[in-house]
Structure 1
């Protein structure tokens, strides 16, 4: 029996590789001789860099940059050896790097992301994929642009401070000092959301609260980003604020699209290509996938939905083992997930679930495989319309 295991990471708990290994151990508990293929996956958010390096034999490189609070931190990126690089914004401006009591969504900056891009340019990269997700900033990518040489000024001609709130004072954008190498470089955005920059479904309204923004701060940031987009449109002659994905990573999607002419692609699609997921899936009898929380949002570019789509195309059943099942997860059944299970054995705290996740994943993998074998099912259950 061939089993393919292709999960995402479990945020603040396990990497995608650790999740895959735990599930594999559960499969071996039931079928010691099973042919198991583990392909750690990601969708552009946290853990994408590790998955890219594992999939492509890329070289991890390090740089000291500013974190979202503007303080020095060590971030990493991947040189892929073919003249291209992969930058995961969470390593430079990630939410998990900033303790909850120190988060300031009004001042958080994406400056460090620009510094990582400069490192890739210095190494000779002329194609850069940027993984968007897990950011602590809500500055529309302004900090990244400032690191790359874009100059932002207020009405008095003073350089604009870092952070999203400062954008409400933006008066002028100058491109003369923008790094010239950027014109020779193609950019691709690996993302897992399709939100616009502003409005009720924009970066501030949807993701701002996760970064510590109060309702008043959400309104302030949303207005600041709208003003930023309006000024940029006057300079660039185009307005990208409503482009699907512009609101990803606190608006970094907007800046990379508008100023660097990036192409948007689902992150799970990029990772699937790098890892050879569709090819590895051929001949598999069963696929396992998973993520920290599965809900209706999983349909919109998250790893389990992407893995399920590839499996569905080949008629292979998919079992999802996740940290928790949220509202609307049942919609995944029409997208190719055969069955979904929470790893928790019963009511437990989040801290305990994270601590003992490897054990629980192993147990649930074994449990679900026993049921699957008992049913003698070799094809996915048909979902009624």
Structure 2
């Protein structure tokens, strides 16, 4: 029996690679299986680790400008003999870089993302894979673009500044000093949301609250995004608002499409293709996937849903595991997950459940039980088959 283990990370607890390893260990305790592991991601957290692992690439550590202007240490990946970089924007401007009281999407900047891009381009990368997700910014990506040499000027010719609050003061977009190394770079932007740049479903109103914005700030940011969209339309001839996903990562989706000429790719499908998952699944009997929490959202562009849809093309059985399945619903079965289980054995605090040792132990224990169940079903099939061949007489 060939089993492919393709777990996403359990956010804030266990990495994709460690989750796969723990489940594989449990399956081996059950015995009698051919086990293959593929760390996966959907373009968000864990994308660099998954792709570097799959391609046996290397990690690069570099100091860049953090969301509040202070230096932060960021990591990105190099794969395909150093020709391709993999960058998660959250490494430079992500929510985890800030304490709760520091969240301020009026001020936070995506400048460090541009610095990561320049570092990769300087190392000779001709392709850059970008994972959008987890940003603390609502600056329409102007911070990233400023690092790359774009200038955003007021009507007096001075710099409009940084952060979301500067958007409404921009009068001129000047691209005359853009870094020449960008000409040789092709961007592949993995994006799992379709929100427009502004309006009720836009970057400010949908994601502003989690980035520390109150109702007035959200309204102000939305105004700025609308102004910026209008300016881009007049000066560049691009309708940012009509691009699905332009509101992703505080408007970085818009910046990549309009200024760096990169289409936004469905995050999970693109990353799973890059990971070579299709080749691994074509003869798999069972696929085990999952993430920290399985719910109605899991069926909408998250990694396990992408794995399930792909596995179903090859007729594999799909089992999903998660820490929390309390809000899971039948939509998971509709996308191809045959059965799902929680790895948590009984009443426990969230903190305890998310402890690395605890979560890893629970994954291994559940992996063994799933393995035993699969072996039992194989024996039942074999018994039924032999019984049919012998006409039911023993």
Q: TM-score, normalised by structure 2?
A: 0.90
Q: Secondary structure at the match of 2:77?
A: strand
1:251-290 alignment, distance < 5 Å: 251-290=251-290
Is 1:120 matched with 2:120? yes
Deviates more, 1:79-88 or 1:281-290: 79-88
1:1-385 alignment, distance < 5 Å: 1-31=1-31, 33-80=32-79, 81=81, 83-325=83-325, 327=327, 329-355=329-355, 356-376=358-378
Deviates more, 1:254-263 or 1:240-249: 240-249
Rounded to whole Å, the distance in 1 between the matches of 2:368 and 2:344 is: 14
Deviation digits for residues 162-211 of structure 1 (CA, Å, limit 9, x no counterpart): 11122122222111111123233221101222222222222222222222
Q: Secondary structure at the match of 1:134?
A: coil
Rounded to whole Å, the distance in 1 between the matches of 2:325 and 2:305 is: 14
Q: Secondary structure at the match of 2:242?
A: coil
Deviates more, 1:10-19 or 1:164-173: 164-173
Distance 1:347 1:169, change over 3 A: farther
Distance 1:329 1:159, change over 3 A: farther
How far residue 373 of structure 1 moved from its aligned partner, in angstroms, is 4.1
Whether the aligned pair in 2 keeps the contact of 1:56 and 1:274 (CA below 8 Å) is: no
Q: Secondary structure at the match of 1:290?
A: strand
Deviates more, 1:145-154 or 1:83-92: 83-92
Q: Point out where structure 2 has 5 or more consecutive residues left out of the alignment.
A: 382-394
Distance 1:288 1:270, change over 3 A: same
Deviates more, 1:200-209 or 1:228-237: 200-209
Q: TM-score, normalised by structure 1?
A: 0.92
How far residue 79 of structure 1 moved from its aligned partner, in angstroms, is 2.2
Whether the aligned pair in 2 keeps the contact of 1:51 and 1:271 (CA below 8 Å) is: no
How far residue 328 of structure 1 moved from its aligned partner, in angstroms, is 5.7
Q: Point out where structure 1 has 5 or more consecutive residues left out of the alignment.
A: 379-385
- Aligned length, in residue pairs: 377
Whether the aligned pair in 2 keeps the contact of 1:191 and 1:301 (CA below 8 Å) is: no
